[in-house]
Structure 1
């Protein structure tokens, strides 16, 4: 069994994880969303995504284009940080399918990763590096090292090539499985076989369902734990599913509804 990274030491299930800060309640991947998750819903961890600007700054955003969440257009990577931070990152958020846009014009902008690290200096983060651009992993790693944040982030990518470059650059950090390695691990384990040991990755950030098949259950979690692996499930917004996952002892629940998850977790811990 591989040695647990410092990120996981002392953690106990189940973690309240706000997906993009709680994307159903506030503009995703913004300081506004992150502060609400931390201050109002006492989240244990923030899940977020990062890209790199034209001038090499690491910024927090999910999409590689700007249209969905901001009043900008085109590829994020074509803009400098100064240009990016002139955009309205609250522009696209709507709680009612486009009838209202309550965060427009409120001064909300795309934050840098450095800003987020400094705004929440003791909080753990789950961070995905989005683009497959060799060299971006070094910019990302140098920032984490400069901010003294390597031990409080779990990092990775959906893309196996990017995930592997991150492991090579930050071998002592906590890394979540990239897509193909994750699929191999999960399929093998659910087929009752022993998956190949890969000490590079210790966290499974995974969907709850594949089609109609529920991937995570108590036996699956026990098998993962026996192999030293931690399981976070995304993106769970249904209170019934939250309750079942809490009963099963999942490592963490990633949700766009940190309000509902907090209610369910509080109800679960109360006597009776």
Structure 2
């Protein structure tokens, strides 16, 4: 078994992980969401997504296009950082299905990954690199190295080609499984078959359900732990599922509702 990545050393289940900073409570992937998750809900980790701009800057955003979250239009990759910084990143957020938009015009901007790393210098991040563009892993890796942040980022991609290039560039970092490699591992473990050995990836960032099938339970977590793997489950916003996962000892819970997860975690630690 390979040595545990520095990212995972000292961690104990269950981690409070704010998905995109807590996308149900504030504009996703923005400093406003990240600060709220850290300062109000004492999150253990931020989950976020990054892209590379036309002028080679690493910015925090999920979508390839701008329409859903901002007042901009078109492909994100076609914009420079200065162009993206002019957009209202709070424009699309609504807590009540479109009745109100409380963050519009409030100065919310798309952050760079460098800004996030510097704002929370002691915090671990789970970062997905998007999309599949050869060379972007080099830009991303150089930034982490420049900021001395390689050991506090667990990185990867849904796409296997991107995940493999990240491993090749940063072999000693913490990497989560990409889609096909993850599916092969989960199917084998759920079916009682010997799973494929792949020491490149240590963390399973995975859905709780596939259709009606609950993929994660105590037996699955034990099987993963026996192989030196850590399991984070996304995106869990139901309090009953949170409670069950906490009781089962899942590695981390990724949620858009960091307020509810904090409440459930606090409930379990109260005396009596």
Indicate whether the TM-score tops 0.5. Answer: yes
Following TM superposition, the consecutive aligned residue runs of length 4 or more in structure 1 with deviations greater than 3 angstroms are none
Distance 2:143 2:181 in 1: 26
**CA positional deviation for 1:2:** 1.9
Give, in whole Å, the separation in 2 of the partners of 1:184 and 1:146: 35
Name 1:215's counterpart in structure 2: 215
Q: Distance in 2 between matches of 1:134 and 1:51?
A: 12
Instruction: Look up the match of 2:97.
Output: 97
- Counterparts of 2:130 and 2:20, CA distance in 1: 13
- 2 CA distance for matches of 1:156 and 1:194? 24
Q: What is the alpha-carbon distance in structure 2 between the residues aligned to residue 222 and residue 243 of structure 1?
A: 18
Deviation at 1:193, TM superposition (A): 1.1
In structure 1, the partner of 2:195 is 195
The RMSD of aligned alpha carbons is 0.3
1:151 CA drift (Å): 0.1
Is 2:226 the counterpart of 1:205? no
State how far apart, in whole Å, the 2-side matches of 1:253 and 1:149 are: 22
> How far apart in 1 are the matches of 2:93 and 2:270?
34
Q: For residues 17 and 194 of structure 2, what CA distance do their matches in structure 1 show? A: 29
Distance between the aligned counterparts of 2:196 and 2:53, measured in 1? 37
Distance across 2 between alignment mates of 1:229 and 1:4: 9
1:18-68 CA deviation, whole Å, 9 max, x = no partner? 000000000000000000000000000000000010000000000000000
Instruction: Name the counterpart of 2:162.
Output: 162
Q: Which residue of 2 aligns with 1:232?
A: 232
Q: Does residue 119 of structure 1 match 2:119?
A: yes
Gapped regions of structure 2 (runs ≥ 5): none
Matched pairs, number: 272
Residue aligning to 1:77? 77
**Could you tell me how far apart the structure 2 residues matched to 1:167 and 1:49 are?**
17
SS in 2 for 1:197: coil
- Residues 188-235 of structure 1: CA deviation (Å, up to 9, x unaligned): 000001101111000000000000000000000000000000000000
Superposed CA deviations along residues 229-268 of structure 1, whole A, max 9, x for unmatched, are 0000000000000000000000000000000000000001
Counting only pairs closer than 5 Å after superposition, residues 1-272 of structure 1 correspond to structure 2 as: 1-272=1-272
Distance 2:268 2:183 in 1: 31
Q: What is the Cα deviation at residue 99 of structure 1?
A: 0.3
Please state how far the C-alpha of 1:154 moved relative to its aligned partner. 0.1
Q: Secondary structure at the match of 1:17?
A: strand
- Aligned residue for 1:73, secondary structure, equals coil
CA shift, 1:271, in A, is 1.4
Question: Which structure 1 residue ranges, 5 or more long, are not aligned?
Answer: none
- Structure 1 CA distance for aligned equivalents of residues 163 and 251 of structure 2: 21
- TM-score (ref. length: structure 1): 1.00
